[in-house]
Every structure is written in C-alpha cells, then in structure tokens.
Copies of this chain bind each other. A is one copy, B any other.
Amino acid sequence: MNASNPPGLRDRKKAATRQAISNIATRLFVERGFENVSVAEIARAAAVARKTVFNYFPRKEDLVFDREEEVLELVRQALAQRGRQAPVHAFQALVRALVESQHPLLRITERPVQFWRAVAESPALTTRAQELQVTLADDLAGMLSDAVGRPRTDPAGRLAAAMLMGTLVVAYGEALAAFRENRKPMKALVGVLERGFTGVNVALAGTPYV
C-alpha cells in the first residue's frame, strides 16, 4: 500500500516477478492458446511456485487483462479536469482525444487485432472481457454520478454509462472489423462513436449529466 518514495528492493523484485510471469504467460498463450496452457505450466516456465502466480493474478484470465486500472485513471483525470463541462461531454471529449492522438488504447494495428482474435477464440477470455465491460460501466456510472453530486445508484448515471460503454465497445469492434477488411478503422470507429454519443446526449437531455 505504498505510494511515492523511491521503490525499495522488495517492490522492485515484485514488479520484476510480476512482469516475468506475465511475459512468459503471454508467450505461451500466443504459442498454444489460452485453454491449452495450465497455470502449473506457467509457474514452471517462470521458475516460481504455482501459488505465486495466483498471488499476482487471482484468476488465470487476469494474466491477459491487466489494464483496467490504467483506463479508470484516464477517466478519473478527465472528469477531475473537466471544468464547467458536463461529465458526459467530458467523457466523450476524452474518447475523441484518445482517438485523434492515436493513443495506444484505441489505436488499431496488427497487435490489438491479433490480441482480440485470441480473446474471441477463448470462451473464458470472452467472458472475462464482458465482465470487464460491465465493471467499467459500473465504475463510470459511479464517477459520473459523483461528478454531478447524485447518489452512485442514480439510474440516469447508470443509463449514461451503459450506453457510453456499449457505444465504445461496438465502435471498437467495428474498427477491428474494418482493419481486417482493409477499410479505414478510425473512420469506422468514429462513425459508430458519434452515432452513439448523439443518442446518449438526447437520452440524458434535461439531466445535469449532459
């Protein structure tokens, strides 16, 4: 639970171990598929106890998805620095900015295409991805509600978050499809995005969210 300060030896070793496990796991998954690699095998390859793997990654799927916190941080920042802008608009502005600045999270290249193909081929990973979408929508709903000083259970906030995340997921999926079919991924992405955003703005009209 440390924060700043020079990271001690312990923390550096932990980071190294975590990274090593993650790297080896990724390599094995790419080579042979998620379902065909056991945690025991990963532990062996990383020269570490099986339990240690679970210490760092409570579920096997977490070896693949470990950028949740990064995403949340981006949203937090955007909402904190939004000035007088409505929170939903601030979120939309964030997404547009990430697209235009070619941020790694939304940039479409061969890498993410292969990554998401692998996810699609694994039932466990697909399920986990869906779980993540819902978790993110939930967190987003909480942040939006906080921003307008309403209870975190406010249905309007939930509705906004669900629609925004839904839009984002569909848009990103379409961008991946476009890439595979040699169409312009970013154009496809923005097309869906603006459609969805327009809808959200109307749905939330009359509320402080927008």
Q: A162-B166, A162-B169 in contact; A174/B155 too (CB < 8 A)?
A: yes
**Given A155-B188, A177-B153, A188-B155, are A196 and B163 also a contact pair (CB < 8 Å)?**
yes
Tell whether, in the assembled complex, residue B162 and residue A170 are in contact, meaning their CB atoms are under 8 Å apart. Answer: yes
- Copies of this chain, complex-wide, total 2
Q: How far is the CA of A198 from the CA of B191 in the complex (A)?
A: 20
Dominant SS among interface residues on chain A:
helix
Roughly how many angstroms separate A189 CA and B171 CA in the complex, as a whole number? 28
* Bound form: Cα–Cα A123–B167 in Å: 26
Contact B199 A202 (CB under 8 A): yes
Q: Which residue of B lies closest to A206 (CB)?
A: B195
- In the complex, what's the smallest C-beta–C-beta distance from A142 to chain B, in angstroms? 14
Complex interface: chain B residues within 8 A of A188 (CB): 155
Flag the segment in A69-77, A107-115, A127-135 that touches B: A127-135
Say which residue of B163, B166, B195, B201 sits within 8 Å of A204 (CB atoms): B195
- Smallest CB gap from A174: residue in B: B155
Query: Does A28 sit at the interface, judged by CB under 8 A?
Result: no
A96 to chain B, nearest CB (A): 17
Tell whether A192 is near chain B: CB-to-CB under 8 Å: yes
Q: Which residues on the B side are within 8 Å of A131 (C-beta)?
A: 127, 130
Nearest-neighbor residue (CB-CB) of A177 within chain B: B153
CB <8 Å contact, A159 and B195: yes
Cβ of B203 and Cβ of A155 under 8 Å apart?
no
**Interface digits, A143-179 against B, CB 8 Å rule (1 contact, 0 not)?**
0000000000101101100110111011101100100
Which residues in A have some Cβ–Cβ distance to B below 8 Å? 127, 130-131, 133-134, 153, 155-156, 158-159, 162-163, 165-167, 169-171, 173-174, 177, 188, 191-192, 195-196, 198-204
